[in-house]
Structure 1
Amino acid sequence: MPKALKFRTHPDGGFNRPGAAAPTSGPSAVDTPPIVAAANDTAPMPQGDAPAPTGRQLRMARRIAQKHGIKVKTDLEAVEALRQRGIDPFERSNMLQLVPGQIGKDGDPQVPAVSRQAPPPAPATPVTIDADHRAGEIMKIQRDIAKRRRRRLALLVTRLSFFVGLPTLIAAIYYYAIATPMFATKSEFIIQQADAASAGATGLGGLFSGTGLATQQDSISVQSYLLSRDALNRLDDDLGFTGHFANPTIDPLQRLDPQASRDDAYKLYKRMVEIGYDPTEGVIKMEVVAADPAVSASFSQALIDYAEEQVDQLTARLRADQMEGAMESFAAAEQRMLEAQARSVDLKERVGVGSAIAEESLIYSQIGAIETEKRAEQARLEQLLSNPRPQQTRVEVTEANIARLEAELDGLRASLTGTDSGDGNLARATAELEVAQQELVTRQLLLQQAAQQLELARIEANRQVRYLSTPVPPIPPDEATYPRSFENTVLAFLIFAGIYLMVSLTAAILKEQVSG
């Protein structure tokens, strides 16, 4: 009696030869029972050393049997039925009948040209399956799946340890044991403008005076200057910025090479000096980092001094131009007023009168008095002449008085009208004095306007003054600010983990695309 053969299920649903490896992945490894269905358990199997057909061969045989109109219930019955008709189901030519397009010359599907006599099938031997064997096969499959999972998990842990854990460990060693402690000095300062009330400024421009909106452009300019190469050069010349960071006690990653170029020093300067401007409050915040707290505070104070000088220089030229123009106008107006006053004094001295108006009034009063006296003498003369026998002596005296008064009147009128040829006539002197006096008054008005302009220029110059206020002065810290070991280590872990995740996802996608 031949020994019973035991078969395992193939991932496709067929049989494998005894001793063949069971599938360890795919849906058939978990979902398909490890033993063939009962419909195939009693089917006849080959005897002796003949190899057992695979699941794929059995399915192909069943499809060939259906193509030839043979009704069977199992794959093994299909093999037996085909062999009884002289058709070898495992021959390549018979399998090609199932491929579309394999048509003979007469239009019928190709069939074997020569019918070969198949060897008689071996007597069927029932496959015996017990519960212990079934459980053992299931446990073996489960152990194989668990082994694969453990191997994959071990490979994943290895890759994570090498590409994520090791770099993170190196970063932690650097931050905790190698990195030089750095001290950061923080300070804040504000650029303010002169108060509108004290400067005398009026109008809409005074609403924003002294606020951050009025000095926003100046704050941005100061921030740009403190981050410029000029500030680095001044700080290096005054306090030795590059020499401090070239100290051998600083770790190599933060130390500046003594032979480094100015570009390298400038990169280090921008990394160690951070300046930010808050436009809502108008505050400039500055942080200066150094290996020593006292040095850090001195660097910060020096930068604040540079900022104050820069603020003063921003409006110095504008204020100087305004004041210079106003002072020149005032000086010119004052000089012209003095010249007009000197001409008026010279004219008065030359004419010999202090005031032309007063002199004219005096002359007119004299003329009036003489006219009155002349009319009185004329009345007396008429009275004397009305006498039939007037006294000749009294008549002559009266006529002489009248003639004298007329001569005085003519002299006074001549001095007023300037009819006589002389430089001392009152009319010319009066006209010249009036012109000189009018010019003097005009020069005095212009001098007053120049004085007002000078005062306005001074007020505007005072309003343009910017000054730097330091609400938070630079104070040396007690403890080191950098490095932040824990935060930097966590950040390094996240960075390396993200890089590993992106690379692994990219490799998996490329592998799937290539295999597909």
Structure 2
Amino acid sequence: MNQVPVDDTLSVNHIRLAQSKMPRMNAWVRCNLGLCIGVILPTLLSAAYYAFLATPQYVSEAEFVVRGQNNQPNLMLAGLLKGSGSGGGGTEDTYAVQTYVTSRDAAQLLMRTQNLKSVYNTPIADAIARFPNFYSGHTFEHFYQYYKRHVVAELDTTTGVSILQVRTFNANDSQRLARALLNSAENLVNDMNTRQRTNTIAASSHELHATLEKLSVVNEKIDSYRNEIAMLNPAQQSQPVLKDIASLQTMLITTRLQLAQLQRSTPESPLIEVHKRRIVALEAEIKNTETKITGSDTSFVPKISGYEDLVFQRTLLEKEVASADTAVAAAKLQADRQLLYLDEITQPNLPDYAAYPHALSNIAVVFAATFSVYLMIVLLISGAREHKLT
């Protein structure tokens, strides 16, 4: 009787065991076809993609802070903010810089200066990760949405430090683009400084120029008024007339005293008539001279009033000019104190290894998402069947 070798016997048993399991496996697959197609197949496909097709992506990271003398709080306030857990660096200027590096302007600048599109449209990148790809459009807006996923700027509110991350398929490209973005951000800060200084000084300078124009108009009015009345300074030119009136009044008083003495001492003196005639003449001359000061439109009083009104306006405007000039100097000093600075804390690094893709976590996300959808569908179908049976 022939004996079968032990090894052959084991092989035959394994084959029979496998053949016996095949129908059961096929039956399980048929019973769970939805699970296989909706959950297991996408998970296996994603695992195959990350294992064999996904291109490594490198992240270059840089840290910076935007500061200026206008947003540095005093020590007591800084201590209170620190004690309350608030960061002192979360200023609007910092957010402006962060917004810029992820903006369309920054993307277009990199396209012009750094050949940005060729960085992401490279043969080494897989068909899913590169741009353009088969599931998105080829317009600039589609590229900008792609750009925002690969260039990220975030603010650490605890420290006030901004973190810039640039992700590409090449370590050198990531570092180069991060450096270009920091340079463009620094140029933006310089432009903000220029605009801020210009706007700060422009308002004060405009006020100064407007006041100077008003002063020029008043000076022209004064010149026209002088030509009209044919006098340089009516107030000064009226002084000799006033002195003449005062002199005549003194002479009138003296003559009256002399007349009174003669009338008491020598009532029959012929000098009495002389003094009387002199008094009449002096009174007439005083009255005539006083009409040059007051009494008509051609007298000194209306001329002096009009002239002093214009001089008063000029004096006020001269004070306004001095005040506006001081304001311009103060605005220049304030503008210099409010200059912004972009300080680089860490330079863009050259990554040693790929930070993306996160294969295991992405596969887990695919499995969790598809399995959740599968369970929802199963529950809905079961609920519909139970409702139909009832």
TM-score (norm 2): 0.61
Distance (Å, rounded) in 1 between the aligned partners of 2:69 and 2:301: 58
1:38-437 alignment, distance < 5 Å: 174=52, 182-195=57-70, 211-215=88-92, 219-220=94-95, 222-250=97-125, 254-256=129-131, 261-262=138-139, 265-266=143-144, 268-308=146-186, 327-348=205-226, 350-352=229-231, 354=233, 356=235, 358=236, 362-384=240-262, 386-387=265-266, 390=269, 392=270, 398-399=275-276, 401-418=278-295, 423=298, 425-437=299-311
Identify the residue that residue 383 of structure 2 maps to in structure 1: none
Please list every run of 5 or more consecutive structure 1 residues that lacks an aligned counterpart in the other structure: 1-147, 199-206, 510-516
> Residue 186 of structure 2 contacts residue 342 of structure 2 at CA under 8 Å; is this kept in 1?
no
1:286 positional shift: 1.1
1:240 positional shift: 0.9
> Residue 351 of structure 1 contacts residue 429 of structure 1 at CA under 8 Å; is this kept in 2?
no
Residues paired across the two proteins, number? 333
Please list every run of 5 or more consecutive structure 2 residues that lacks an aligned counterpart in the other structure: 1-16, 30-39, 74-80, 82-86, 380-390
> Residue 188 of structure 1 contacts residue 283 of structure 1 at CA under 8 Å; is this kept in 2?
yes
Question: Residue by residue, what CA displacement relative to the aligned partner does 1:165-215 show, whole Å, maximum 9, x if unpaired?
Answer: 9989957864xxx765544221123344542699xxxxxxxx9xx943442
> Residue 297 of structure 1 contacts residue 474 of structure 1 at CA under 8 Å; is this kept in 2?
no
Q: Check 1:173–1:401 CA distance in 2 against 1; reply closer, same or farther (3 A cut).
A: same
Q: Check 1:340–1:505 CA distance in 2 against 1; reply closer, same or farther (3 A cut).
A: closer
Identify the residue that residue 469 of structure 1 maps to in structure 2: 342
Q: Check 1:436–1:265 CA distance in 2 against 1; reply closer, same or farther (3 A cut).
A: closer
TM-score (norm 1): 0.49
- Greater RCO between the two (CA within 8 Å, min separation 6)? 2
1:437-456 alignment, distance < 5 Å: 437-444=311-318, 447=321
Distance (Å, rounded) in 2 between the aligned partners of 1:501 and 1:426: 105
Q: What amino acid does structure 2 have at the position aligned with 1:301?
A: R
Q: Check 1:355–1:478 CA distance in 2 against 1; reply closer, same or farther (3 A cut).
A: same
1:427 positional shift: 1.8
CA RMSD of aligned residues (A): 5.3
Higher mean alpha-carbon deviation, 302-311 vs 238-247, is at 302-311
Distance (Å, rounded) in 1 between the aligned partners of 2:365 and 2:288: 118
Distance (Å, rounded) in 2 between the aligned partners of 1:450 and 1:312: 27
- Larger radius of gyration, structure 1 or 2? 1
Percentage of identical aligned residues: 20
